[in-house]
Structure 1
């Protein structure tokens, strides 16, 4: 995953997205795949949709938004995540400001850090 201080909402790789209704609620099933080939299918309630503005000549993109439990080190929270096919990107998940606000410190000069103390490499 990638920490993205510019993204308001987190995003994850989702394929085979199928939306349906159950008991009057909008639902979605999808398959998450990471870059190591691990796959897992999820079914979640759609809590919102994100309309992504398109570049000139392309049509706007509408993505379902679901609540997902996300854990990074000691930080574990339920956050809104939009679903999109990210297979063309290196990172299968982006953690945006809606997760980072829970005390995650981002170091722009380092990669792959996970620790409790600032400056502990």
Structure 2
């Protein structure tokens, strides 16, 4: 019993050291997307697993035997021309009950979305993140950053803060 108490005390004392390695971000942060020459406001959502970027007219196509995806950004003042990027994979996203007719036996509880890899700069940190493409134009933020991406950033999210990391300040790599 005494050993267990000692071990618990050691863990409690070490916890601040682990937390010190993390970066505290707010509920919303500015994120640079250098692949797209864009900076957007994002919502950090620990309840979502994946990151999502607002896109429309999404279509897959083949280029040199590889699958690519073509899309338009569904973001104000974004590109007028389509963006083409290699397809990383297709994700299966759980749909909310309001997203489909539950009386329809054929209605599926999952939807498939194309996933691309994008460099993301938040604060002074650059990470390569998987991002699924979906139309988020009805949402306030065109980019949602989920728990998998937050892990890559070593993020702690404080919902009482907004834009605590400031503008993206990553140095471009050659």
Shorter-chain TM band:
0.7 to 0.9
- Map Cα deviations across residues 35-59 of structure 1 (whole Å, 9 max, x no partner): xx12134211111111223432444
Deviation of 1:82 (Å): 0.4
For 1:29 and 1:73, locate their aligned partners in 2 and report how far apart those are by CA, in whole Å: 29
Within 2, Cα distance between the matches of 1:75 and 1:105?
Answer: 14
How do 1:16-31 and structure 2 match up within 5 A?
A: 16-31=57-72
Uncovered stretches (5+) of structure 2, i.e. residues with no partner: 1-41, 167-174
Task: Find the counterpart in structure 2 of residue 62 from structure 1.
Answer: 112
2:143 and 2:116 map into 1 onto residues whose CA distance is: 14
Unaligned runs of 5+ in 1: 116-121
Rg (Cα) greater in structure: 2
The equivalent of 2:49 in structure 1 is 8
* Residue number in structure 1 paired with 2:123: 73
More helix per residue: 1 or 2?
2
TM-score, length of structure 1 as denominator length:
0.82
CA displacement 1:14-48 (0-9 Å, x = unmatched)? 111121011111110111133xx121342111111
Query: Residue 95 of structure 1: CA displacement?
Result: 1.0
Q: How many residues align?
A: 113
68, 77, 90: which one aligns with 1:38? 77
- Give the TM-score normalised by the residue count of structure 2: 0.59
